[in-house]
């Protein structure tokens, strides 16, 4: 049993499968006229976001409200953080208010783990620095299973800015636990030191990896985290690592295309590819609500992970 969801590595095969199966039950509720369960009535969830993120924050807010929780949205902008309040003092304030769960996004890797030492309620990591984003990995795995039927033995190619991607790390950990084979494809300058020790293959050749892929997951190029030039130009990046129509034709017929968003059309992925029937980008957003409902339900609703 775990109390917090700080890393994809917190989940073993059984607990990860339980989250995905619970998300399937939650997704069925989306077709009802009243999309609400009383499970978390009387519980309070805080969305504690030190970085802007419309997609993830709204997804968690929708998920908590569908479970009837009271939701408080906290943005660092315009708060006491701008006056110099520390993470610990913010945590102690939340603790004093009797918060049941905290969904935290923070620019510093490890901030959710530190927060978990000061707050009695459950902590869910909604993205910390370049470290991890476990619920994104869960919704990606859920989307793959929904489209392709199973995860064991699936060949997943993750492409792009691996160095700065918490999505890549969490996916690699979770997908490996679930029995998938992961290949990272990236410019050499965007491969982290120590990547050779990961449970994943590393390649610099996208064209060679695509014919053997059941899933290709494009990553966002995180320019805001780059302090130097990691590739010559946007055009050069697109030429070598962008997914265009020609490259899409190299994929097996059943293969799907994913992107965690927000995406840069024309650089990371061509508009025709992003909008093609093979793309799951919009599905991923919808599935995110079901998966986050499952996480909140299991962590705060009294069932064991």
Enumerate the β-bridge partners of residue 97.
none
Residue closest to 45 by CA, chosen among 23, 61, 66, 26: 61
Burial class of residue 42, CB neighbours in 10 A (0-12, 13-18, 19+) = exposed
- Three-state DSSP at 304 gives coil
Asked whether residue 105 is marked as a ligand-binding residue, the answer is yes
> Is 220 annotated for ligand binding?
yes
Residue 166 known to bind ligand: yes
* Dist. CA 67–CA 39, nearest whole Å: 6
Q: Is 83 annotated as a binding residue?
A: yes
- Does 223 count as an annotated binding residue? no
Is residue 133 a known part of a binding site?
yes
| CA torsion, ordered 190, 196, 201, 203, to nearest 10 deg | 40
> What is the DSSP code (8-state) at residue 192?
P
Query: Is 56 flagged in the annotation as binding?
Result: yes
Is the peptide bond prior to 235 cis by the omega test (within 30 degrees of 0)?
no
Beta carbons within 10 angstroms of residue 22's beta carbon: 20
Annotated binding residue 136:
yes
Q: Classify burial at 291, counting beta carbons within 10 Å of its beta carbon; exposed 0-12, middle 13-18, buried 19 or more.
A: buried
Q: Which long-range contacts (CB under 8 A, 24 or more apart) does 23-31 make?
A: 23/138, 23/139, 23/142, 23/287, 23/290, 23/291, 23/293, 23/294, 24/142, 24/290, 25/294, 26/66, 26/289, 26/290, 26/291, 26/293, 26/294, 26/297, 27/287, 27/290, 29/66, 30/286, 30/289, 30/290
HSE-up of residue 115 (Cα within 13 Å, Cβ side): 33
Binding site feature residues for L-aspartate: 83, 166, 220
Binding site feature residues: 55-56, 83, 105, 133, 136, 166, 220, 261-262
Binding site feature residues for carbamoyl phosphate: 55-56, 105, 133, 136, 261-262
């Amino acid at each position: 049993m775990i109390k917090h969801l700080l890393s994809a590595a917190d989940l073993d095969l059984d607990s990860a499968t339980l989250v995905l199966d619970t998300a399937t039950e939650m997704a069925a509720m989306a077709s009802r006229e009243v999309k609400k369960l009383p499970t978390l009535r009387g519980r309070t969830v805080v969305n504690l976001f030190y970085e802007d993120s419309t997609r993830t924050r709204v997804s968690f807010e929708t998920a908590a409200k569908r479970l009837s929780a009271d939701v408080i949205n906290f943005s660092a902008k315009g708060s006491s953080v701008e006056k110099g309040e520390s993470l610990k003092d913010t945590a102690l304030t939340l603790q004093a208010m009797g918060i049941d769960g905290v969904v935290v996004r923070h620019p510093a890797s490890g901030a959710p783990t530190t927060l978990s030492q000061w707050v009695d309620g459950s902590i869910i990591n909604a993205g910390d620095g370049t470290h991890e984003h476990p619920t994104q990995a869960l919704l990606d795995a859920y989307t793959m299973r929904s489209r392709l039927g199973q995860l064991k033995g699936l060949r997943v190619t993750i492409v792009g800015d691996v160095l700065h991607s918490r999505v890549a790390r969490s996916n690699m950990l979770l997908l490996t636990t679930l029995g998938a084979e992961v290949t990272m494809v990236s410019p050499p300058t965007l491969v982290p030191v120590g990547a050779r020790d990961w449970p994943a293959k590393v390649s610099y050749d996208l064209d060679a990896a695509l014919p053997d892929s059941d899933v290709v997951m494009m990553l966002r190029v995180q320019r805001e985290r780059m302090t130097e030039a990691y590739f010559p130009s946007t055009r050069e990046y697109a030429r070598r690592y962008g997914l265009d129509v020609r490259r899409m034709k190299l994929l097996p017929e059943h293969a799907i295309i994913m992107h965690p968003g927000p995406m840069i059309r024309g650089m990371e992925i061509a508009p025709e590819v992003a909008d093609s029937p093979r793309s799951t980008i919009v599905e991923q957003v919808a599935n995110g609500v079901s998966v986050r409902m499952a996480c909140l339900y299991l962590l705060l609703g009294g069932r064991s992970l």
